[in-house]
């Protein structure tokens, strides 16, 4: 066997290029090319407007959602604060009401005691009058009997 023969000729490399498409405006008048360009510009503008509107809406909704979260947090804090204020108000009001009721009861007791003292003084005055006056003694006796009848009826 003999060694393979080496070729002395240069190696040729080939490349394949994609063929460019022929622009649509070839063979058109300049007015037609310009008109087509304006139509394309209008289409690009409309697509940009739609895309911008969609992106703006999405950004606006995201910002609104974030603001809503903040507002909801603030409202929750306000509700909690109001509930605490309400509880404090109710406690203070209850305390003041209790103090007023207690003061009223004490005043009523004091008035009842005064009334009783006045009755005792009136009784002693009538008894002192009855000692020297038969008519006053009869009136006192009638009042005592009426009071006794009243007590019997209440029982």
Query: Please, which residues have CB within 8 angstroms of residue 143's CB and are 6 or more apart in sequence?
Result: 126
Global pTM reads: 0.43
For residue 86, the model assigns a pLDDT of 96
For residue 44, the model assigns a pLDDT of 92
d(CA 74, CA 2): 95
Rounded average pLDDT per 10-residue block, the chain, 155 residues: 59 74 66 86 93 94 95 96 97 96 96 94 84 84 82 66
Q: How many CA atoms lie within 13 A of 20 on its CB side?
A: 3
For residue 3, the model assigns a pLDDT of 56
The alpha carbon dihedral of 127, 131, 136, 139 has a sign of positive
Q: Token pair of 144, please?
A: 């005592």
């Amino acid at each position: 066997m003999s060694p393979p023969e080496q070729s002395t000729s240069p190696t040729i490399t080939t490349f394949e290029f994609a063929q460019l498409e022929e622009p649509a405006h070839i063979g058109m008048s300049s007015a037609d090319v310009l008109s087509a360009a304006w139509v394309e510009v209008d289409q690009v503008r409309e697509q940009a407007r739609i895309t911008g509107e969609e992106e703006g809406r999405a950004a606006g909704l995201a910002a609104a959602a974030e603001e809503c979260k903040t507002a909801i947090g603030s409202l929750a804090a306000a509700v909690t604060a109001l509930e605490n204020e309400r509880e404090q108000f109710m406690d203070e009001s209850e305390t003041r009401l209790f103090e007023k009721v207690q003061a009223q009861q004490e005043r009523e007791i004091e008035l009842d005691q005064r009334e009783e003292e006045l009755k005792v003084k009136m009784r002693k005055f009538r008894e002192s009058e009855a000692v020297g006056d038969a008519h006053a003694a009869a009136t006192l006796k009638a009042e005592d009997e009426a009071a006794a009848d009243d007590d019997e009826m209440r029982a």
